[in-house]
């Protein structure tokens, strides 16, 4: 049963749908006030009455029934208490029967959502700066699929540009096949850094020539380029595997090489192109933006040009309902320009494109982040966190089996959660110790709570005690936990609506807190009969919610910890 919907249908307001009212229902901070509250301020204008009067009028009109136990008006709010026994049975039965589908829905109706995330650069380090785009994008991908959309994960590879000419020049001069094959991305990156430090004018000229050769389809130049690309992709795949990240397309910037000319033509036909110092631009001054550079004076395309072609290609190929770009806020202007140019081209679907911007992640641990000017590779952060997780586990639970496997789930999860637990636009400083705190607002805390639930359930199973959903009025701790469990589907929905996976993180942290309170206050295995069966059901439901939520975030759960 959907309590919000049920309550909403009892409140007829002209011109406001039950769905809108359901959206307005909030959960009061103090459970003593009620389980749901409706602020009546919104209706004051249409109903031409004060919120206080409206709340009183509604309260008088609604009579309690099987579902609604009590309705009261207070300071312009309408407070509802729902029938706890009914709520308990309903919520529990639903979670137990839906299991790993609990929280999912078909609200998406198969509509396509393209999500551009991670979008790594070939031959460049996969560094800490790519953490957020990768894990936030990956989470959104799973969340949209869970809600019945068809998500298309796109890794818009940075595989176009003069740097590849430089790389080939450097390889030709200093490279060694064996070494590059062995060292992979690290060896490639070294060559690139060396070029930037040491190249003279002659080498620069060579680099330009190699770039031209790649562009003109020269066999050797392209073979080298493809080799560098495959080494980079093999490397990033190892990180994607650890973070549980997948893609449906790796069409990167290069893929649009032959798809830009028609875009430029269209811009020309629509009189949107202007010449400026030899370059071709779209004037965006009327919209308070600097000009969008489409072609450089030497005719070369730009990042923006390729994004224009990519957007059009995606729309034609996938017929998306939404196209998301999970990219750092530093590129705000780029996406504003991109969307504006598409709009000027008459693509009305430009309104369906969203820049999902996020803040910066830096490391608290300065010692490691510098390494003399070098960037922090994400791989190193993962390994370090796993190592630390291993030490923490060793200390907490020396007899734990499979410590390495558990440490991997805990350590990698902690890094991912670092980028998933706060409002995404916030800049954050990652601290290993904070992220691995068992009692903090951490993924470890969630995993640990889950393992605690698992251990109770395993014990019950070993003793042949089943869980059940009897008719029973829950105590305060149980009721609060139940209400929180019931809120999970809404949190998933809102995470999708706001492109904010942290709403799921928040919901899970609240769930874990209330479970632990319940665990301390209510005996589970020492209880008897119906009460024990009910508490076991509550324990199982909690584990389901935590597991489902963590799975959406891409974080695994060990059976024991």
Residues that bind ligand ARG in the complex, under the rule CB under 6 A: 116, 119, 121, 156, 158, 307, 310, 325, 327
What does 250-303 look like in DSSP terms, one character per residue? ---GGGGGGGSHHHHHHHHHTT-EEEETTEEEE--GGGT-PPEEEE-TTS-B-H
Give the nearest distance from C-beta 512 to ligand ARG in angstroms.
34
Smaller CB separation from ligand ARG, 41 or 329: 329
8-state DSSP, 127:
B
Query: Residues 313, 259: contact at Cβ < 8 Å?
Result: yes
Closest approach, Cβ 390 to ligand ARG, in A, equals 32
**How long a stretch of residues is the chain?**
561
Indicate the burial class of 421 (C-beta count within 10 angstroms; 0-12, 13-18, 19 or more).
Answer: buried
SS (H, E, C) 342-382: HHHCCCHHHHHEEEEEECCEEECCHHHHHCCCCCCEHHHHH
User: How many angstroms from the chain centroid is the CA of residue 335?
Assistant: 19
Please say which residue, 206 or 379, places its beta carbon nearer to ligand ARG. 379
Cβ-defined contacts of 285-288 (< 8 Å, 24+): 287/340
Closer CB to ligand ARG, residue 35 or residue 307?
307
Residue 443 CB, shortest distance to ligand ARG, in Å, is 26
Distance, in Å, from the CA atom of 524 to the CA atom of 532, rounded to the nearest integer, reads 6
Closer to ligand ARG by Cβ: residue 324 or 435? 324
All residues at 6 or more sequence positions from 94 whose CB lies less than 8 Å from its CB, including other chains: 102
| 119 vs 484, beta carbon nearer ligand ARG | 119
Q: How many CA atoms lie within 13 A of 428 on its CB side?
A: 25
Beta-bridged to residue 322, according to DSSP, are 113
Pairing of strands 150-154, 322-328: unpaired
- We find the least distance from the C-beta atom of residue 244 to ligand ARG, in angstroms, to be 21
Which residues, listed in sequence order, are joined to residue 86 by a DSSP beta bridge?
none
Instruction: Say how many C-beta atoms besides its own lie within 10 A of residue 112's C-beta.
Output: 18
Q: Which residues face 5 on adjacent strands?
A: none
Q: Nearer Cβ to ligand ARG, position 295 or 538? A: 295
Rounded CA-CA distance 58/40 in Å is: 10
Minimal distance in Å, beta carbon 241 to ligand ARG? 21
CB of 124 to ligand ARG, least distance (A): 8
Closer Cβ to ligand ARG, 79 or 119, answer by number: 119
Q: Minimum distance from CB of 535 to ligand ARG (Å)?
A: 48
Of 129 and 183, the one with the shorter C-beta distance to ligand ARG is: 129
CB of 306 to ligand ARG, least distance (A): 8
CB of 307 to ligand ARG, least distance (A): 5
> What's the closest the beta carbon of residue 218 comes to ligand ARG, in angstroms?
25
Give the Cα separation of 58 and 78 in Å (integer). 8
- Least separation in angstroms between residue 301's CB and ligand ARG is 13
> What tokens does 172 get?
């030709």
Residue closer to ligand ARG by CB (options 331, 437) is 331
Separation of alpha carbons 458 and 461, rounded Å:
5
Shortest CB 334 distance to ligand ARG, Å: 7
To which H or E segment does residue 36 belong?
strand 36-39
**From CA 115, how far away is CA 324, in angstroms rounded?**
5
Based on CB atoms, which residue is closest to ligand ARG, 132 or 544? 132
Residue 560: beta bridge partners? Answer: none
Nearer to ligand ARG, 327 or 451 (CB): 327
Widest CA span in the chain: 87
Q: What would the two tokens of residue 511 be?
A: 């769930």
Q: Nearest distance from residue 330's CB to ligand ARG, in Å?
A: 8
Bridge-based pairing state of the strands 150-154 and 112-116: parallel
Give the strand pairing for 292-295 and 279-282. Answer: antiparallel
What minimum distance in Å lies between the beta carbon of 327 and ligand ARG? Answer: 5
Which residue number, 247 or 519, has a Cβ lying nearer to ligand ARG?
Answer: 247
- Residue closer to ligand ARG (CB basis): 182 or 230: 230
Q: What does the alpha-carbon distance between residue 463 and residue 452 come to, in Å, rounded to a whole number?
A: 17
Q: Nearer Cβ to ligand ARG, position 156 or 483? A: 156
- The CA R_g of the chain, rounded to the nearest whole Å, is 28
Partnered with residue 39 across adjacent β-strands are: 77
Please tell me whether residue 312 adopts helix, strand or coil conformation.
Answer: helix
């Amino acid at each position: 049963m959907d309590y919000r919907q049920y309550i909403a249908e009892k409140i007829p307001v002209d011109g406001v749908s039950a769905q809108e009212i359901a959206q307005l229902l909030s959960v009061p901070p103090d459970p003593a006030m009620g389980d749901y509250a409706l602020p009546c301020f919104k209706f004051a204008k249409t109903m031409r009455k004060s919120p206080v009067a409206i709340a009183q009028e509604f309260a008088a009109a609604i009579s309690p029934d099987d579902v609604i136990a009590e309705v009261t008006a207070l300071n312009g709010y309408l407070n509802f208490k729902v029938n706890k026994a009914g709520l308990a049975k309903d919520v529990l039965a639903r979670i137990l029967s839906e299991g790993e589908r609990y929280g999912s829905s078909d609200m998406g109706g198969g509509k396509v959502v393209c999500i551009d995330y991670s979008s790594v650069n070939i031959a460049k380090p996969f560094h800490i700066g790519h953490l957020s785009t990768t894990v936030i994008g990956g989470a959104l991908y799973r969340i949209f699929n869970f809600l019945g959309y068809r998500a298309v994960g796109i890794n818009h590879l940075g595989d176009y540009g003069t740097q590849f000419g430089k790389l080939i020049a450097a390889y030709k001069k200093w490279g060694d096949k064996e070494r590059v094959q062995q060292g992979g991305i690290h060896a490639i990156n070294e060559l690139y850094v060396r070029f930037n430090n040491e190249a003279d004018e002659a080498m620069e000229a060579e680099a330009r020539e190699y770039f031209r050769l790649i562009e003109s389809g020269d066999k050797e130049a392209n073979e080298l380029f493809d080799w560098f690309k495959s080494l980079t992709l093999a490397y990033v795949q190892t990180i994607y595997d650890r973070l549980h990240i997948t893609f449906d397309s790796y069409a990167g910037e290069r893929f649009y090489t032959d798809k830009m000319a028609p875009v430029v033509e269209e811009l020309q036909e629509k009189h949107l192109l202007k010449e400026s110092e030899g370059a071709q631009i779209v004037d965006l001054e009327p919209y308070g933006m600097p000009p969008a550079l489409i072609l450089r004076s030497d005719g070369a395309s730009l990042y923006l040009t390729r994004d224009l072609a990519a957007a059009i290609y995606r729309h034609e190929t996938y017929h998306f309902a939404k196209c998301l770009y999970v990219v750092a806020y530093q590129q705000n202007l780029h996406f504003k320009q991109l969307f504006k140019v598409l709009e000027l081209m008459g693509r009305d679907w430009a309104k369906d494109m969203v820049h999902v911007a996020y803040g910066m992640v830096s490391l608290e641990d300065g010692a490691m982040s510098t390494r003399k000017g070098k960037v922090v590779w994400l791989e190193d952060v993962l390994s370090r966190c796993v190592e630390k997780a291993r030490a923490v586990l060793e200390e907490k639970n020396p007899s734990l089996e499979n410590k390495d496997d558990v440490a991997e789930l805990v350590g990698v999860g902690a890094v991912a959660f670092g980028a998933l637990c706060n409002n995404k636009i916030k800049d954050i400083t990652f601290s290993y110790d904070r992220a691995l705190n068992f009692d903090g607002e951490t993924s470890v805390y969630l995993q640990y709570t889950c393992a605690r639930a698992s251990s109770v359930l395993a014990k019950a199973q070993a003793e042949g005690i089943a869980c059940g959903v009897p008719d029973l009025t829950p105590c305060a701790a149980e009721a609060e936990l139940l209400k929180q469990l019931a809120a999970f589907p809404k949190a998933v929905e809102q995470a999708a609506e706001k492109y904010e996976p942290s709403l799921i993180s928040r919901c899970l942290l609240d769930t874990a807190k209330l479970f632990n309170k319940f665990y301390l206050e209510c005996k589970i295995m020492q209880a008897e009969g119906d009460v024990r069966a009910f508490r076991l059901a509550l324990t199982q439901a909690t584990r389901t919610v935590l597991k489902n939520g963590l799975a959406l975030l891409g974080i695994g759960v060990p059976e024991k910890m």
